[in-house]
Amino acid sequence: MDLNQIFLLLSQKGIDNVNLDMFDLEKKKEIYEKYADMFNDHNGVDATYIAVNDYAKAKNLFKDKERLVYDMDLAAKDKNYK
């Protein structure tokens, strides 16, 4: 299976608008986590939203918290509060 095609679909339609019910729970978790990892090196509200949303769907609260703390630290350093 080519995950790039799924990632493209997720990017075009939005995370909440793509039905991944055809995959078992472990495969869905893998897809969400790998998609979120793509945004983990980027800054910005959109990238953060996507990463946090995907990690939450994958039930990876550790990575979710890690991303949010990173963004809060970055915002505090830049004095860019949103």
- DSSP SS3 for 2: coil
The rounded distance, in Å, linking the Cα atoms of 43 and 68 is 11
Over residues 5-34, the pLDDT tens digits come to 888 888 888 888 889 999 999 998 888 888
Is 29 exposed, middle or buried (CB count within 10 Å of its CB: 0-12, 13-18, 19+)? middle
- pLDDT more than 90, % of the chain: 7
Over residues 34-69, the pLDDT tens digits come to 888 777 665 666 777 888 888 888 888 888 888 888
pLDDT at position 74 over 60 = yes
